Amino acid sequence: MTADSTGQMSGAANADSRFAHKPTRHIGERVIEAILFSVSMTAVAVTVGIVGILLYESASFFEQVSIVEFLTDTQWTIMFADKHYGVLPLLAGTLVTSTVALLFAVPVGTIAAVYLSEFASMRVRETVKPTLELLAGVPTVVYGYFALLMVTPALQWFMPDLPGFNMLGPGLVIGIMIIPYITSMAEDAMRAVPMQMREGSYAMGATRLQTSLRVVVPAATSGIVAAYILGISRAFGETMVVAVAAGQQPNFTWNPTEPGATITAFIVQVALGDLPHGSLEYQSIFAVGLVLVLMTLFFNVLGHVARMRFREVY
């Protein structure tokens, strides 16, 4: 080894060159590291791009429409001659469909997660978890079909007055869509609770249900909250189900049985039409997009605070 690297054994030329110090080797390593680093910075660039573009295009929008009108006017009629630029109808639509979705998905998802984590056998868990992933992979436009042509007609059975386009059906379908996310993440959180805590609880004579609800769930609260926040983000951002089945009419109402439009559905509706670059309609979709991002961000920050508050360290 020493002989080779110092080059004293002139006979072993092969070995010599193999062990010789190669200055290019370090340069190559540096280049590769630099490439990998710049590739990773794409993630930062995308965030900067999203924030920058939303702010830039919205700024032009708010030069022509006052923020006060945007936030207080109860009509959004950008497609009509008598134009009103109030984001409240779209905001209401988003909140109504998301609330319906969460009222359905949070209890069902949580109970399913408790069952999977604390009651189901290993085999059941191993089969159900991948199935949940499959469910999460179904394209949203297919769920739109489900909402429009299957769920709404089924609801009309119980509620004959329900219009063909409404926010209740899409809301429920969004709920079904986010159940797999909530179940899967909440189950992971409960699995992570150390076994000793369950054993301690059983040793005190608690039943399975008591252990689940009074020991495991409180200990996993931080992770369960994270699951809910993910569900809320998904519900806010869901587009196709609402665009297909809720009627695409901005409607300032809190009643889920009426038709309505969400922020996302409005963006789709405008984008489907002919959209001149730089027009007020064009800028408006960035302004409402900004509202959507801020809403999502608000709940994510809230979730972060809640997670810190409930965090348990073992």
Partner 1 sequence: MHDTQAIRQLVLRGRRRDAIFAIIGLICMMIGILTLAVLLAGLIQDGAHRLNWSFFENFPSRRAEKAGILSAMVGSSLVMLITAATAIPFGIGAGIYLEEYARRSWVTNLIEVNVTNLAGVPSIIYGLLALSLFVYALDFGQSILSAGLTLALMILPVIIVSTREAIRAIPVSIREAAYGVGATRWQLVRDHILPYSAGGILTGVIIGLARAIGETAPIITIGALTFIAFLPASPISGEFPFINFEWLESPFTVMPIQMFNWLSRPQAAFQENAAAAGLVLVVMTLVMNGAAIWLRIRFRKRIKW
Instruction: Assess 218 for contact with partner 1 (CB under 8 A).
Output: no
Minimum distance between the CB of residue 54 and partner 1, rounded to whole angstroms? 7
Give the interface size with partner 1 as a residue count (CB under 8 A): 84
For partner 1, give the closer residue by CB, 3 or 53.
53
Distance in Å, CB of 25 to partner 1, minimum: 6
Selected binder of partner 1 within 12, 15, 95, 135 (CB under 8 A): 135
196 touches partner 1 (CB under 8 A): no
Footprint of partner 1 on residues 256-285 (CB under 8 A)? 264, 267-268, 271-272, 275, 277, 285
CB of 55 to partner 1, least distance (A): 11
Contact with partner 1 (CB under 8 A) among 102, 176, 225, 227 = 176
Distance between CA 146 and CA 268 in Å, rounded?
19
Binders of partner 1 in range 69-128 (CB under 8 A)? 107-109, 111-112, 114-116, 119-120, 128
Q: Tell me the closest approach of the beta carbon of residue 35 to partner 1, in angstroms.
A: 7
Span interacting with partner 1, options 48-56, 63-71, 80-88, 214-222, rule CB under 8 A: 48-56
CB of 163 to partner 1, least distance (A): 14
Under the criterion CB under 8 A, does residue 27 sit at the interface with partner 1? no
Interaction between residue 62 and partner 1 (CB under 8 A): no
